[in-house]
Structure 1
Amino acid sequence: MNKKHLAVYAGVAVLFAAAGAYTGMKKEAAPITATASAGVTGPVQTLLAQTMPNAAGKATPLAQYQGKAMLVNFWATWCAPCVQEMPELSALSSGEAGKKLQVIGIGIDSPTNIAEFSAKYKITYPVLVAGMSGTDLSRQFGNVNGGLPFTVLIGADGQVRKTYLGKLNFDELNKDLASL
């Protein structure tokens, strides 16, 4: 194979990669929409104003969680610490704390990846698809570098109680939950 053929093959490969990336970015399960949430301000208001598709593509308005304490976990399927903490988040959600606290996973990933991941693993809390706009939403809560996992503890009054960057320390989280 000569250098001319190699250059042509490389050019075709780049075109196919670009076309695949473009198609992947445009393929959304459902659009994220926003509505107003009365009585709550700042990033929590922005969060509650969102309607995001779940892993099955069904629109889920986050306003339904207003007035309840929430633990919002920003994650991605390719993030190993995110995946490692999911069993404990599921246990938290389905345990005693889950009666007073709504755990929500906001996936910063493609709808296809999240749907495949959700079908493979048993997650007991709502997993929503935000795509890359989830990074912008996490930044509003103070995640300036967009690191994952990023978790936000929100009181029933709509106030951010604490944020956690990196894999959760569940002993620390349980102490924080006791102060809600």
Structure 2
Amino acid sequence: MRSACLTLLLLTLTACQPSAPESNADLLQSLRGQWVVINYWAEWCKPCIKEIPELNALDSDYDSVTVLGVNYDGATGDALQAQLDALQVQFATLGEDPAGLLGLDRPNVLPTTLIINPAGELLDMLVGPQTLESLLAVTVHRASQAEK
């Protein structure tokens, strides 16, 4: 069920960065077999701002992980792009909050990060700021441990 929810979620994606795939179909194809990290952030949240470079690094440096952001305040269009530029967010941003599609309540605390495994299953919900190391521990390193 969660896998179907993730697929539905990804079909509703709106990517805001120039490096984003050209279509939702391309994005879905690129996420097959990937760890997906969905991070809720807001421009007024100091811990969110602090962890953005960690999320950028995870998304750019680890091919097996895709990071997707959710603007907690629901900014869209030029307002969202201005925030992405100001905070130097380099990962794709979802156009809509995925919580309902994943069968979850909207987070009450920021930042909140959802971890979805390559099979499309929600594995974890991390509350509070994350580091690259903490994110790797629940994605790439977890996969390495499972293979042993």
Q: TM-score, normalised by structure 1?
A: 0.60
For 1:104 and 1:124, the matched residues in 2 are separated by 10
For 2:109 and 2:23, the matched residues in 1 are separated by 25
Q: CA deviation at 1:170?
A: 4.0
2:11–2:28: 8 Å Cα contact kept in structure 1? yes
Q: 2:16: which partner in 1?
A: 54
For residue 122 of structure 1, the aligned residue among 88, 112, 117 is 88
Equivalent position amino acid for 1:100 in 2: S
1:134-158 deviations in Å (ceiling 9; x for gaps): 1xx3254544553322211111111
Calculate percent identity across the aligned residue pairs.
22
2:13–2:95: 8 Å Cα contact kept in structure 1? no
1:73–1:149: 8 Å Cα contact kept in structure 2? yes
Aligned: 1:179 with 2:145:
no
Aligned: 1:146 with 2:112:
no
* SS at structure 1 position matched to 2:94: strand
| Structure 2 residue runs without a partner (length 5+) | 144-148
For residue 162 of structure 1, the aligned residue among 117, 124, 129 is 124
State how 1:10-29 maps to structure 2 within 5 Å: none
Equivalent position amino acid for 2:35 in 1: A
* SS at structure 2 position matched to 1:113: helix
Aligned: 1:83 with 2:45:
no
RMSD, matched Cα: 2.9
Q: 1:110: which partner in 2?
A: 75
Equivalent position amino acid for 1:172 in 2: S
Q: 2:32: which partner in 1?
A: 66
Distance 1:55 1:79, change over 3 A: farther
Equivalent position amino acid for 1:124 in 2: Q
Q: Which runs of 4+ in 1 moved over 6 A?
A: none
State how 1:126-137 maps to structure 2 within 5 Å: 126-130=92-96, 134=97, 137=98
Distance 1:91 1:53, change over 3 A: closer
Equivalent position amino acid for 1:99 in 2: D
For 1:53 and 1:169, the matched residues in 2 are separated by 24
Distance 1:149 1:46, change over 3 A: farther
Relative contact order (alpha carbons < 8 A, sep ≥ 6): 1 or 2 greater? 2
Distance 1:150 1:141, change over 3 A: farther
Q: TM-score, normalised by structure 2?
A: 0.71
Larger helix proportion, structure 1 or 2?
A: 1
Distance 1:40 1:122, change over 3 A: same
Q: CA deviation at 1:70?
A: 0.9
For 2:130 and 2:105, the matched residues in 1 are separated by 15
Q: CA deviation at 1:94?
A: 1.8
Equivalent position amino acid for 1:40 in 2: S
1:123-143 deviations in Å (ceiling 9; x for gaps): 33213333xxx1xx3254544
